[in-house]
Amino acid sequence: MTGGPRLAGREFFATRTVGEALAGFRPARRTAVEEVPLAEALHRVPGAAVPAPGPLPGFARSTVDGYAVRAADTYGASEGLPSYLDLLGAVRMGAAPEVAVRPGGAVAMPTGGVLPEGADAVVMVEHTAETMPGTIEVTRPVAPGSGVVRADEDVAVGAPLVPGGRPLRAPDLGMLAAGGVTRVAVHARPRVVVLSTGDEVVPPETAALGPGQVRDATASALAGLVRDAGGEPVLAGIVSDEPGALEARLREVLPDADLVVVSAGSSVGARDETAGAVAALGDIWCHGLAIKPGKPTLLAECAGVPLIGLPGNPLSALVVFRLVGVPLVWRLAGCEAPPPEPSTRARLARDLPSAAGRLDVVQVAVRDGRAEPIFGPSALLSVLTRADGCIVVPEPATGLDAGTEVEVTLYR
């Protein structure tokens, strides 16, 4: 990553768009690869594709209940002129066939049974009838390969069971288990150190607040977003506004962090120490995003560790971290294309004004296909807790009209 200009006095404020941040702020850091049991691998990101040690399913098998046949013996069969075949035996589940299919013969098959030698198709039982003991009639023709899965049709030997660089999903775990892979090499969960700042901020367990004090709500919410993105949150406490305190604390936490998040302290002002502390330790990529809420956001890299300085208001901090921080956590864990969040389409319930040149993120409640905007000061977490999701008004737009169809990113 190419660093931006270093801090040059208190007026430093280099603003980037959110799109520029997502495309340009791409630290090279990735977490190490570790081996974990399959039961612990859900949503983890493999360090590389996992090759199949053998073909899957490993043998040609039936996909239907019916009869294994030579397809040529069924050509021309119909309800009015069925093909008659000799019943030669049956295949048992979990066992090798004890009989082969010869011309003019058929073998009874269960779904999943091993295809006997000589057969190249399975006719569904619904298209057959046993007219007399030892004889079946076939009333519909089948082509070679019908009702059959090849021995390597699921996965060929050496082909990837699962790809690298993508979080493992439940079906991926099933594929690994089918291939006999019970341990998988995945990226370690990124350690995301969250530092809160401000003399007014006190721990959540504080029973009685003094004048001007607020409990640290943002750190707990950020920890939840980090866990959702597959990271390991480390709540590193509250740093005072005393000059030099934040720089000293950053020096302490950086060696064991994959990402540092500084909650509050990124606004331009005499009290705010984040930009100065970060400039002393690394390169600032930007100090300001063209977004509402969340403009005073800082992105930097210190000793190879990415750092995000968030606005002090909880709503702003969480909106920015969801847009910029969550993809970064996934990237640190080896996932270059973060999994998409659930979304739905809805129509705006009212006009939505916006200013051109910035990205507006608006919280909405979704009811009966209508998206109702929820407004409130950035200091109010209730705006987020009442929302079902958010919509994004792009930078060029000057607003959206009521009735406009919008995509709502849903909160899980």
> Cα 395–399–403 angle (5° rounding)?
130
Provide mean pLDDT across the span 289-305.
94
Please tell me whether residues 318 and 240 are part of one structural domain. Answer: yes
Please tell me whether residues 303 and 207 are part of one structural domain. Answer: yes
Please tell me whether residues 76 and 107 are part of one structural domain. Answer: yes
- Answer yes or no: is 43 within a domain: yes
Please tell me whether residues 23 and 68 are part of one structural domain. Answer: no
pLDDT in tens, 94-117: 999 999 999 999 999 999 999 999
Binning pLDDT at 50, 70 and 90, where does residue 355 land? confident
Q: What is the mean pLDDT of the chain?
A: 92
pLDDT in tens, 309-339: 999 899 999 999 999 999 999 999 999 889 9
Q: What is the pLDDT of residue 307?
A: 98
Please tell me whether residues 87 and 227 are part of one structural domain. Answer: no
Q: What is the pLDDT of residue 349?
A: 96
Provide mean pLDDT across the span 276-295.
93
Overall domain count for the chain: 4
- C-alpha 364/C-alpha 391 separation (Å) is 7
Please tell me whether residues 279 and 316 are part of one structural domain. Answer: yes
Please tell me whether residues 376 and 237 are part of one structural domain. Answer: no
Please tell me whether residues 307 and 349 are part of one structural domain. Answer: no
Please tell me whether residues 121 and 195 are part of one structural domain. Answer: no
pLDDT tops 80 at residue 121: yes
Q: What is the pLDDT of residue 337?
A: 87
- Answer yes or no: is 326 within a domain: yes
Q: What is the pLDDT of residue 357?
A: 86
Binning pLDDT at 50, 70 and 90, where does residue 272 land? low
pLDDT tops 50 at residue 125: yes
pLDDT tops 50 at residue 196: yes
Domain span including residue 39: 34-54+158-187
Please tell me whether residues 80 and 102 are part of one structural domain. Answer: yes
Please tell me whether residues 26 and 167 are part of one structural domain. Answer: no
Provide mean pLDDT across the span 242-247.
93
Least confident piece of the model among 164-173, 247-256, 353-362, 384-393: 353-362
Please tell me whether residues 40 and 182 are part of one structural domain. Answer: yes
- Of 290, 306, 332, which residue is a domain's last? 332
Percent of the chain whose predicted confidence (pLDDT) is above 70 = 95
pTM: 0.87
Amino acid at 64: V
- Answer yes or no: is 250 within a domain: yes
Whichever domain contains 375, its CATH number is 2.40.340.10
Q: What is the pLDDT of residue 6?
A: 45
Q: What is the pLDDT of residue 274?
A: 86
Percent of the chain whose predicted confidence (pLDDT) is above 90 = 85
Binning pLDDT at 50, 70 and 90, where does residue 13 land? low
- 312, 30 Cβ separation under 8 angstroms: no
pLDDT in tens, 58-84: 999 999 999 999 999 999 999 999 999
pLDDT tops 70 at residue 384: yes
pLDDT in tens, 204-237: 999 999 999 999 999 999 999 999 999 999 999 9
pLDDT tops 80 at residue 8: no
Q: What is the pLDDT of residue 14?
A: 66
pLDDT tops 50 at residue 271: no
Helices 274-281 and 245-253 pack at an angle, to 10 degrees, of 50
Whichever domain contains 131, its CATH number is 2.170.190.11
Binning pLDDT at 50, 70 and 90, where does residue 380 land? confident
pLDDT tops 80 at residue 270: no
